[in-house]
Chains A and B, each alone.
Chain A
Amino acid sequence: MTSLVATETTAAPSASLSPDTLRDMYWSMLIARRVDERAWALHRQGKIAFHISGMGHEGTQVGAAFAINRGVDYVHPYYRDLALVLAIGVTPRDFMVSLFGKQGEYSSGGRQMPSHFGLKRLNIVSGSSPVATQVPQAAGLAFAIKYRWENKLSDPADATQPRLALTCLGEGSTSQGEWHEGMNWAGVHKLPFICLVQNNEYAISVPMDQQMAVHDVADRAPAYGVRGIMVDGNDILAVYDAMHDAAQRAYRGDGATLVEAKTYRVVPHSSDDDDRSYRSREEVESWKRKDPIHHFQEVLTERGILDQAQMDVYEARARQTIDEAQRFAESAPYPPESELFGKVYAEPES
């Protein structure tokens, strides 16, 4: 699939990424994949109740994460964004604790199912299960950014403040009214807003052609007066370039972008799904051959930035990190019953 990335410079932004950064990106993809695999194993072992996987999306998510001001810009993710939030700063240990629903769980204190990411200190907004609810809220976050710029409550050049709101969702969720209303505000008010549609061709079992009458989600963007671009989601650097472009637009006050990343989940929708009922093994195998991590390994190896020895070190480190995270989570206590009644209302500002 060709990348249709419009940039204003001849050199792609990814070209100026340092080797260390590239290795960081690789590590982020790897640790996300390995954590994800471990969660599947735990589920099949009967140790956890539920897992919803992002395997196959690592290129899209890590590429996007590195293109924004991670930990500062607002991110309102969806349930498949494990690699995205790990790249921003959520840890494997955090994620493990959430799989087991233990006390002090980072996103919700154990009140939410796993993969309902949220962490205020990294400006990751807490999400829910009904899909697309995050999109108009993200537009509202972007609205607040613009509001502060316009009312002189903050400086658009201040990189210690959020300067854009990024939200992600699957292509199926763009059928929700919520998505349309959020996109409409983003267009009307030219908001510093990026909607990253991670198009993996299926909404659980429902394929694209049952979901929408257009071939590409990006084709919908002009209807809202929003710029739309498509990108190969499994090419991490292409995603980085597209997202970098969208982020700069937002920072400049040039408005919103809809980025459609074409990708694929090589696993069922969740631990409770059986994808054999709606797609062929051949299709899945063909996409496995386009695995974003393998692709990036090839790119980095070819550039001499990564070799087998280093990859082995990363694998070992990943294994160790995950084992430790799992041990920690398994031995952590459950929340006390009193937590049921905690945090219903926010206290007054002091």
Chain B
Amino acid sequence: MPEITLIDGIREAMDEELARDPRVFITGEDVGVRGGVFRATQGLFEKYGAARIIDSPLAELSIVAIGIGAALADLRPVCEIQFADFIHPAFNQIVNEAAKMHYRSDGQWRVPLTIRAPYGGGVGGGLYHSQSVEAFFAHVPGLKVVIPSTPYDAKGLLKSAIRDQNPVLFFEAKKGYRSIKGEVPAGDYTVPIGPAAVRREGGDLTVYAYGIMAHYCMQAAELVSQQNGIECTVVDLRTLLPVDRETIVQTFKRTGKALIVHEDTLTMGYGAEVAAVIGEDAFEYMDAPIRRYGGADVPAVPFSHPLQEAFMPNPEKIADAIREVAAY
């Protein structure tokens, strides 16, 4: 089976969906002729033409709003926001409009829209090319929020997102675009939006993560297994909204200890929801306080390399956090 990168998987999904359904089109800044600043849409303009791969004006609000209008008219737009840091002008359209359209029209109007954006730090991008924004949107019923960690999941989940009848936010860990590799079957398959994936089983502690942090947590789990004999269950959440309460609780009950890792700032990050779910549904299984390891509670990721590294979790720091929780 061929091994491809995360961004290849994303591109393959778009390519295959464009071929499969004439209602699918891509729009965003530089997605057409340039093939996307990260080359996510490379080759698609040549293959499908300007009528389906549309270079948009430099206006994120309208990238999303045009997508909403087109989705209302039963097309399947895939709107790219060049960096998740720039999604904020579109917040009104995403939260007030896309999320609420089906509910406010009593189910008459639907928005089968996919919004893709690269997120996350570690690339020297500073405050405005490193942000994680999933927490804002995971808070809004009516939306779906998906963050794959493997090429297989990226392709399968993006296909599901494009076919989903609801607005889906699809965040891509830019640091892992080319460094995350994995086997992906050629041809059509989907990964369902919703269920988390258990990547590793172990009885001492359950680690929850998504995106590139899921990889770091797997590496950390290996470290502590070899060095300390600590065996972790690692859960790759994949879908943040809807919340997979069942997997979160079931994987917690086996160990009684949880560590939640995300590079988004700690306070009010997604880890708070996971911790609350565990506290509500698995109190009598708790063997240690639930711990979250998030990005530093500062406004954003700084540029200077040591400052950036101090902000970001990494496998060694995650391993230390695992050891602390395991020792309780």
Asked whether A and B interact, the reply is: yes
**C-alpha spacing A320/B68, complex, angstroms:** 40
Contact B65 A140 (CB under 8 A): yes
Contact, CB under 8 Å: B92 / A140: no
A147 interfacial by beta-carbon distance below 8 Å: yes
Cβ A108 vs Cβ B104 within 8 A: yes
Which residue in B72, B75, B96 is a CB contact (below 8 Å) of A130? B96
* A256 within 8 Å of B (CB atoms): no
Indicate if A312 sits at the interface (CB-CB under 8 A).
no
How far is A259 from B307 in the complex, measured between Cα atoms in Å?
54
Instruction: Give the residue of B67, B93, B111 whose beta carbon is less than 8 angstroms from that of A133.
Output: B93
Interface residue A205 (Cβ < 8 Å from any Cβ of B): no
A118–B104 CB distance below 8 A:
yes
Q: Say yes or no for A153: interface residue by CB 8 A criterion.
A: yes
Docked pose: A177 CA to B72 CA in angstroms? 21
B102 at the interface (CB under 8 A from A): yes
Is the pair A139, B66 in contact by a Cβ cutoff of 8 Å?
yes
Q: Which residues of B contact A151 (CB under 8 A)?
A: 22, 51-52
Look across to chain A and name the residue whose beta carbon is closest to the beta carbon of B98: A137
Q: Is the CB of A346 within 8 A of B107?
A: yes
Stretch at the interface among B54-62, B204-212, B253-261, B262-270: B54-62
Partner of A181, one of B65, B75, B106, B110: B65
CB atoms of B66 and A136 under 8 A apart: yes
Please name all residues of chain B whose beta carbon is closer than 8 Å to the beta carbon of A153 when the two chains form the complex: 22-23
Q: Please judge, given known A-B contacts A133-B97, A136-B93, A153-B22, whether A143 and B108 are in contact too, CB under 8 Å.
A: no
Question: Are B106 and A139 in contact, with the CB atoms below 8 A?
Answer: no
Q: Mark A311-350, 1 if CB is under 8 A from B, else 0.
A: 0000000000000000000000000000000111111110
How many Å lie between the Cα of A150 and that of B53 in the bound state? 13
List chain A residues, Cβ under 8 A from B164.
Answer: 348
Known contacts A118-B109, A147-B25; A181/B72 CB under 8 A: no
Q: Which residues of A contact B74 (CB under 8 A)?
A: 144
List B contacts of A181 (CB < 8 A). 57, 59, 61-62, 65
Stretch at the interface among A14-22, A80-88, A109-117, A270-278: A109-117
Asked if residues B96 and A344 are in contact (CB atoms below 8 Å), the reply is no
Is the pair A177, B52 in contact by a Cβ cutoff of 8 Å? Answer: no
Whether A140 pairs with B106 at a CB distance below 8 angstroms is no
B104 contacts which of A76, A111, A182, A349 (Cβ < 8 Å)?
A111
Q: Which of A29-37, A55-63, A119-127, A284-292 contacts B (4 or more CB under 8 A)?
A: A119-127
Instruction: Tell me if B104 and A136 are in contact (CB < 8 A).
Output: no
Q: How far is the CA of A153 from the CA of B62 in the complex (A)?
A: 24
Closest to A138 in B: B69
Indicate the member of B52, B72, B101, B164 with the most A CB atoms within 10 Å.
B72
Known A-B contacts A128-B100, A345-B142; the reply to A107 vs B105 at CB < 8 A is yes
Task: Give, as a whole number of angstroms, the nearest-CB distance from A14 to chain B.
Answer: 30
Residues of B close to A182: CB separation below 8 A: 62, 65
B57 x A184 contact (CB < 8 A): yes
* Assembled-state Cα–Cα distance A348/B101 (Å): 16
B131: Cβ under 8 A from any A Cβ: no
In the complex, are the beta carbons of A125 and B72 less than 8 A apart? yes
Which residues of B lie under 8 Å from residue A188 when comparing CB positions? Answer: 57
B239: interface (CB < 8 Å): no
Q: How far, in whole Å, are A165 and B69 apart by their CA atoms in the complex?
A: 10
User: Could you tell me the distance in whole angstroms from the C-beta of B187 to the nearest C-beta in chain A?
Assistant: 21
- CB of B166 within 8 Å of the partner chain: yes
Please measure, in the bound complex, the distance between the C-alpha atom of A343 and the C-alpha atom of B108, giving whole angstroms. 9
Q: Enumerate chain A residues within 8 angstroms of B65, measured Cβ to Cβ.
A: 133, 136-137, 139-140, 178, 181-182
Whether B69 lies near A346 (C-beta < 8 A) is no
Q: Is A65 an interface residue (CB 8 A)?
A: no
Give Cα A143 to B139, complex, Å: 30
Q: Say if the beta carbon of A141 comes within 8 Å of chain B.
A: yes
* Contact of B109 with A125 in the complex, beta carbons under 8 Å: yes
Measured between alpha carbons, how far is A347 from B109 in the docked complex, in Å? 12
Residues B165 and A137 in contact, CB atoms below 8 Å apart: no
Is B289 at the interface (CB under 8 A from chain A)? no
Task: Say whether A74 faces chain B, with CB atoms less than 8 Å apart.
Answer: yes
The answer, yes or no, to whether B103 is at the interface (CB within 8 Å) is: yes
Q: Give B52's nearest chain A residue, CB to CB.
A: A151
A107 to chain B, nearest CB (A): 7
Q: Is A162's beta carbon under 8 Å from chain B?
A: yes
Contact partner, B106, options A111, A130, A345, Cβ 8 Å: A111
The residues in A between 224 and 276 inclusive whose CB is less than 8 angstroms from any CB of B are none
B69: A residues at CB distance < 8 A:
76, 136-144, 165
Contact A349 B57 (CB under 8 A): no
Contacts of B223 on A, CB cut-off 8 Å?
none
State the A residues within 8 Å of B (CB). 74, 76, 105, 107-109, 111-112, 116, 118-120, 125-126, 128, 130, 133, 136-145, 147, 150-151, 153, 162, 165, 177-178, 181-182, 184-185, 188, 342-349
Given A188-B57, A348-B165, 13 further pairs, Cβ under 8 A = A107-B105, A109-B106, A120-B108, A125-B109, A126-B105, A128-B100, A136-B65, A141-B72, A143-B69, A147-B75, A343-B102, A346-B107, A349-B163
15 pairs from A and B in contact (CB 8 Å cutoff): A111-B103, A118-B104, A136-B62, A137-B93, A140-B77, A141-B69, A144-B74, A144-B75, A147-B25, A150-B51, A177-B89, A178-B93, A342-B107, A343-B106, A345-B165
- 8 nearest CB pairs, A to B: A140-B69, A136-B65, A144-B73, A181-B62, A109-B106, A126-B105, A120-B108, A346-B165
